[in-house]
Amino acid sequence: MESLLLAWFRRHGRDLPWRGSRDAYAILVSEVMAQQTQIARVVPRWEEWMARWPSVEALAAAPLADVIRAWQGLGYNRRAVSLHRAAVVIARDGWPGDLTSLPGVGRYTADAVAAFAFGRDVLPVDVNVQRVMERTGASFGPAAAQALMDLGATVCLARVPRCAACPLADGCPSRGRRYEAVRKQGPLEGSFRQRRARALRAVAAGASAVADAEAVESLARDGLVHVDGGRVALPGQ
């Protein structure tokens, strides 16, 4: 199955700007941005980010407030704080052997950086990779990582897979199946996530007071804002 998948990938793989790079920092930024964010939104933001902070040292030296502002619109803003903290660690100490020791870096992200930047013999398993492996029942090696990601993201979809377009369909025991939608989280409208996002946008735009005290308190716990005598500001301001 792997040879069929790789042949498909050569023809249909996504053209992503960080692919083919061995720059561990560039790959780390792409992986952190892509967590729970659509790739179409990530690509232009990654390009802007890399133009502004082209190295881990540049990001480490940047004010955290600027990093948080630059992240606006990608969602899950704690990722910006963790990425900045990770850059500070790397700039000071170098890349650790255990990448999961970096702030905000879990097993998948560590494996992705290890495989794509450092050439380690590991298969990063995200939700797309896991889905393809579970449905096909097949085993794949590290060389198939990006192909598996693309197949899961564009063909072997979570609810209604496009089996007619799948290079693995002939040998797939799950061919033709449909799946129940799985809601990972509630709708954004009216949620506490939306309130947090609005509060952070206001502070990033220069507001020193925000009426939603609960949202501000939550942001402060995550290191996204600080409160001093009733004044709310981004870190370092």
Residue extents of the structural domains in the chain: 23-116, 121-184, 192-233
CATH tag, 121-184: 1.10.1670.10
Architecture of the domain whose range is 23-116: Orthogonal Bundle (1.10)
pTM of the entire predicted model: 0.89
Please give the Cα distance from 33 to 6 (Å, whole number): 25
Render each residue's pLDDT in the chain as its tens digit; 237 residues.
999 999 999 999 999 999 989 999 999 999 999 998 999 999 999 999 999 999 999 999 999 999 999 999 898 899 999 999 999 999 999 999 999 999 999 999 999 999 999 999 999 999 999 999 999 999 999 999 999 999 999 999 999 999 999 999 999 999 999 988 766 666 777 788 888 888 898 988 888 788 888 998 999 999 999 898 889 999 987
- Give dist(CA 222, CA 219) in Å, integer: 5
- Active-site residue numbers? 31
How far apart, in whole angstroms, are the C-alpha atoms of residue 62 and residue 84?
Answer: 8
- In 3D space, the residue among 29, 36, 127, 40 whose CA is nearest the CA of residue 75 turns out to be 36
